[in-house]
């Protein structure tokens, strides 16, 4: 029986869902949402905060500040509350209401930017606000998940070895991309492993991570409007892009089987199933990483009026198994 004194001390690392009965393809989904922060971002948040403490960058009177679309903000809110720091999360209008309320419940200040016309879009507006905060008061400490190597190191030291422990014959790993911290940490670790592992990055259509022009994205968690500084494409074998409509369909299809996952997970599963359909998954051992659970998406992905208003009625038509209708390159 685990007994803890701080919330970030607990994280269920070894839970997988076999999606074969639902999809017809062998695919093991690593569930990362079973911790008090509710997502994989707990690992990066813990690593970045504790590294800043060790280096002396983070002091007792410091004010943490970070740009986040949601999950990292919740993780940092939880850690800040536990350690006694003030925390300011700079987000934008795509952040789910439930996520904003969770951060505020944990004592954080949430600033929502709305200037879509700023250089770099909403992300550019968020980063400009963070920089202005840091310039106004030197107590502000920006962890910068977009450039901080501790972001990917969290997954190099924890996520990848955990997968290898249970899947010594792993052939292909599907990883959703945003800052690319999870992708880079896992890819670096498996590059030096005893057998070759194909690393497939799963991105959202409208994201500019792999050189596409930025476009509209309404589901937070994956994708960026610029190329992430942490990305090294030399570690990536292939990238697939998933339409947000297919993310919605996949999330709702999984929910009808009793698995309520978040939008990021729906994107990863859809991309993985598409890849397996095209390449033939028989005989392969594939694992996909599920970043979060679905409670924070009840007012978006799982809310019929929101889905119809954003994507139209066609998204709610009878659905194919997860993985169809995905664009790839």
CA-to-CA distance for 12 and 41, rounded, in angstroms?
13
Average pLDDT over every residue of 201-211: 96
The predicted structure's pLDDT at residue 306: 94
Assess contact for 186 and 157: CB atoms under 8 A.
no
Tell me which of 106 and 226 has the higher pLDDT.
106
The predicted structure's pLDDT at residue 319: 55
Out of 286-290, 292-296, 302-306, 324-328, pick the least confident.
324-328
Q: Is the pLDDT of residue 324 over 50?
A: no
Q: Tokens 């999606």, residue?
A: 19
Residues 175-196 pLDDT 10s: 999 999 999 999 999 999 999 9
Q: Is the pLDDT of residue 78 over 60?
A: yes
Q: Helical H runs in the chain?
A: 20-23, 41-55, 71-83, 97-105, 121-136, 149-154, 160-166, 181-191, 244-255, 263-279, 304-311
Report the 10 Å Cβ neighbour count for 235.
18
Which tokens in the block code for residue 298? 């009840």
CA-to-CA distance for 234 and 266, rounded, in angstroms?
26
Mind giving me the DSSP string for 12-64? ----EEE-HHHHSS--EEEE---BTT-BTHHHHHHHHHHHHHHHT-S-TT-EE
Average pLDDT over every residue of 256-284: 93
Q: Is the pLDDT of residue 282 over 90?
A: no
CA-to-CA distance for 133 and 113, rounded, in angstroms?
13
CA-to-CA distance for 95 and 175, rounded, in angstroms?
21
Closest by Cα among 234, 236, 231, 238 to 181: 231
The predicted structure's pLDDT at residue 322: 54
CA-to-CA distance for 44 and 155, rounded, in angstroms?
8
Assess contact for 188 and 211: CB atoms under 8 A.
no
The predicted structure's pLDDT at residue 317: 72
Q: Is the pLDDT of residue 141 over 80?
A: yes
* pLDDT grade for 117, boundaries at 50, 70 and 90: low
* pLDDT grade for 79, boundaries at 50, 70 and 90: very high
Q: Is the pLDDT of residue 325 over 50?
A: no
Q: Give the SS3 label for residue 138.
A: coil
CA-to-CA distance for 44 and 148, rounded, in angstroms?
10
Q: Is the pLDDT of residue 327 over 60?
A: no
pTM for the model = 0.93
Out of 27-36, 217-226, 267-276, pick the least confident.
217-226
Tell me which of 5 and 325 has the higher pLDDT.
5
Assess contact for 259 and 17: CB atoms under 8 A.
yes
Mean pLDDT in the chain? 93
Report the 10 Å Cβ neighbour count for 219.
24
Which tokens in the block code for residue 311? 């994507």
Phi-psi category of 90—alpha, beta or left, where left has phi over 0 and alpha has psi -120 to 50?
beta
As a whole-number percent, the residues of the chain with pLDDT over 90 amount to 83
Q: Is the pLDDT of residue 44 over 70?
A: yes
Out of 24-28, 115-119, 215-219, pick the least confident.
115-119
Closest by Cα among 246, 254, 247, 268 to 325: 246
């Amino acid at each position: 029986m685990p007994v803890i004194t701080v919330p970030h001390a607990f994280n269920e690392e070894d839970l997988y869902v076999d999606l074969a009965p639902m999809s017809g393809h062998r695919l093991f989904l690593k569930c990362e949402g079973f911790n008090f922060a509710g997502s994989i971002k707990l690992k990066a948040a813990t690593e970045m905060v504790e590294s800043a403490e060790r280096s002396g960058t983070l002091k007792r009177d410091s004010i943490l500040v970070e740009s986040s679309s949601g999950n990292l903000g919740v993780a940092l809110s939880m850690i800040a509350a536990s350690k006694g720091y003030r925390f300011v999360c700079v987000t934008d209008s795509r952040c789910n209401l439930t996520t904003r309320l969770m951060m505020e419940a944990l004592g954080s200040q949430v600033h929502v930017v709305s200037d879509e016309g700023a250089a770099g879009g909403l992300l550019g507006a968020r980063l400009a606000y963070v920089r202005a905060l840091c310039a106004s008061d030197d107590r502000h400490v920006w962890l910068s998940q977009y450039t901080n190597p501790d972001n990917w190191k969290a997954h190099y030291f924890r996520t990848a070895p955990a997968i290898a422990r249970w899947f010594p014959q792993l052939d292909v790993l599907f990883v959703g991309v945003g800052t690319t911290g999870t992708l880079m940490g896992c890819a670096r670790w498996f590059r030096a492993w005893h057998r070759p592992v194909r690393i497939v990055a799963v991105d959202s259509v409208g994201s500019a991570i792999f050189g596409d022009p930025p476009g509209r994205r309404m589901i937070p968690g994956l994708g960026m409007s610029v190329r992430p500084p942490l990305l090294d494409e030399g570690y990536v074998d292939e990238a697939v892009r998933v339409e947000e409509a297919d993310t919605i369909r996949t999330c709702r299809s999984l929910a009808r089987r009793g698995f309520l996952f978040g939008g990021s997970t729906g994107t990863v599963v859809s991309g993985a199933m598409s890849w397996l359909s095209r390449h033939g998954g028989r005989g392969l051992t594939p694992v996909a990483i599920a970043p979060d659970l679905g409670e924070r998406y009840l007012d978006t992905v799982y809310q019929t009026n929101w889905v119809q208003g954003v994507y139209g009625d066609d998204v709610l038509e009878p659905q194919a198994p997860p993985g169809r209708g995905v664009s790839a390159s």
